[in-house]
Structure 1
Amino acid sequence: MSRLLIKGGNELNGEVTVKAAKNAVLPILAATLLTEDKCEIENLPHITDISNMLKILETLGSKVRFEDNVITVDNANVNKHNVPNDLAKELRSSFFLLGPILGRMHRAVVAYPGGCDIGVRPLDIHIKGLREMGIGVEESHGMMYCDGSRLKGANVLLDFPSVGATENLMMAAALAKGKTRIANAAKEPEITDLQNFINAMGGKVNGAGSSVIEVEGVQKLHGCTYRPIPDRIVAGTLLIAGGVCGGKVTVKGAVREHLEPLLFNLNKCTCFIDSRGDKISVISQARPRNLDKFETQPYPGFPTDLQSQMMVMMAVSEGTGVIVENIFETRFRIVRELIKMGAKITVKDRTAVIRGVKALEGAAVSAMDLRGGAALVIAGAKAEGYTTVDGVEHIDRGYESIETLFTLLGAEVKRLR
């Protein structure tokens, strides 16, 4: 396993172009199963979550090619409905393959998925919605067996605005008979992107971005070329790094609207925000002021995927701040690693109290999950001395060569193999 070696203390200055969002690309790749035609997906990062999704598609019979940041998927010969157990365990997003497989094959067998261990992410919301659409679901020995022979449009009310469940139901409904109405739907930008992709294939989906999504099933979808939205979490990670380390960090290709909750909080920390066209810059020339309190919420609230990175900023800010994590109950596993670096953080249940310190110290730390790992890279770039980060395989799930991204901004980060 590789690890990162970081020499801290440098200001960050420079510009990085953000590629397509992992959390948009994965459901879009799954949705290509809804057509027998070729689809081309553009501007994609080389990350392990995408590689694992492509492996799953290949086991189902897809032909895939990944060249020059473009993935071509040909699903003309897809003839299997089983998602392999070993691959499902590597990728949490494998579960929303259920929707498109059922839409096309009318049956599916899927193992309970893996991914980052950041808390319980109940699948009951998915299952309940699929059953409302006439799908028979049986669970046995860690596998889910689904019969979609009676798949039909339905009115579905989600108990929680789950992103994955919303996406699963949208894809299942795309080829179902009749109209499906999904109430209390997730509003994330990635949901809107999936809607736009299905519609680019000839689907009839509307309402994404609101709490109600309607899908009129069609008989057939066709191929298309599509460019997903930029990755707001990668962009946010780099902007927070600029706020922590000082200097001027610019991300190109990001959408300001997608980042408003973060930019609002960075501004409250006394960072200056400059937004022009598709470029967003954070300028930080002094020690940040700590936030009094913020809570993670479903979009358009503050994203849980940027909470760990923001914790690093609060750890070196002036004053005391509070974070309430409302989405995933084990997001605070990074706290133990930050304390090794001199942070002063106490946690009770879903609340963390952070007393800012003037400096962090380099230490040997371990990434426990994707976003926590990226946050440790920020901490290492800020800390005095050298930091090593183990568990880089978690970071590689969502960041294409994170050492390159930070080096472009002036940090000293090397990958040791």
Structure 2
Amino acid sequence: MAKDGFDLVIGLGVSGRSVIRYLTDQGMPVRALDTRAEPAGLEALRVEFPNVKIHTGGFKSGWMNNARRLIVSPGVAVATPAIAEQVVAGKEVIGDVELFARAASEPLVAITGSNAKSTVTTLLGQVAEACGMNPGIGGNLGVPALELLDDQARLYALELSSFQLETTYSLSAEVATILNVSQDHLDRYASFADYVAAKQRIYDGCQVAVWNRDDLATRPHAGVPRQISFGAHPEADYRLDTENAQLLCRGERLLALSELALTGHHNAMNILSVLAISDALSLNRDKALATVKAFTGLPHRCQLVAEAGGVRWFNDSKATNVGATLAALTGIGESIDGKVILIAGGQGKGQDFSPLTEPARQYLRAGLLMGEDRSTLAEGMSAAPCELVADMEAAVARAHALAQPGDAVLLSPACASFDMYSSFVARGDDFSARAREVCHD
């Protein structure tokens, strides 16, 4: 053990602050640093933890060398040279989810995927609540994992990012799932294979793996005691029967798609995954079915925000990668009588937009593209009529002019928002407000 015997927390975001709080409550000596000179909430943190030494503006080599272990926030890559040096030296480098996994005593459901993590985690929480489980819901979504440990939960459901999984070693979930995998975060990973490998860590030590039979990258690479699959594939345990518009479990009819509050085949897949997880946990099926039927979705995730003149407006601002936009465009395109007018663009994060070519050709009336990488996105959607627009105001006005009864206007950017907005939430709120304005004119 290093001579000073302290834990060093790296990154002072939401998860980093939760780690400081957890370790100080345990009576552990803690120090913290952030490479930013003025991270948000710094002064409040100093007031809350007056005895914790905090360094900002870079790594502090003496602290790095003398710490007994590093607890790294998800936003900081373990491959960062200053951290990688400590890994090579044999120092333990973990994250907040690893601390949670070591402390939690109730069953854990671990949920990851490029898209739909938040929707599935939230809906599973509602099913578990309906079944009297008093679930602790959080992780990458909402409440940091460590702050759930105070709850009197009989079940935990954690949304986990690939970044969190990189520093987690003893998850051993009761149920683990990878919902889907598409290109994302290639600005952080050397290759798509490395990204998939990070996702696959969720299955380590799990009892039941729930995976998407339509996406082989989600299938466990190593053996697990039990597997349950979902998808449109004819061999899926939980299956979307597109021909008859219904959900099945091993051939038994569960629900008609018309019974669901949510629109689109991509949302049907999310519901199938929740039903499969509920099955793995032996939760009451009738209560699960009643809950999923009533679920209306999350803000900024294919959320219906306005409707007028036979045209529906959907806010899917959370779609910050190609896979999310592909799912939304296909899911809504398949479920409406008209065409989709897609508003997209922003910071592309080095993605390949070509997977959008075929659905754009099939479902789009027009693509209205804005932001930093709009020209690159236009190349990937060259099979459809695309227009470059200046901003959201111009995009919404043009969409309103183009839309015909039966159409849907879909904000699903396939890109990050930071070239034009502070967050995907701000982007979605701007779209929603403007959509309601034109619908009330």
TM-score range, shorter chain: 0.3 to 0.5
Task: Using CA pairs under 8 Å that are at least 6 residues apart, name the structure with larger relative contact order, 1 or 2.
Answer: 1
How does the TM-score come out when normalised to structure 2? 0.32
Given the two structures, how large is their TM-score scaled by the length of structure 1? 0.34
Larger strand percent: 1
Name which one, 1 or 2, has greater alpha-carbon Rg. 2
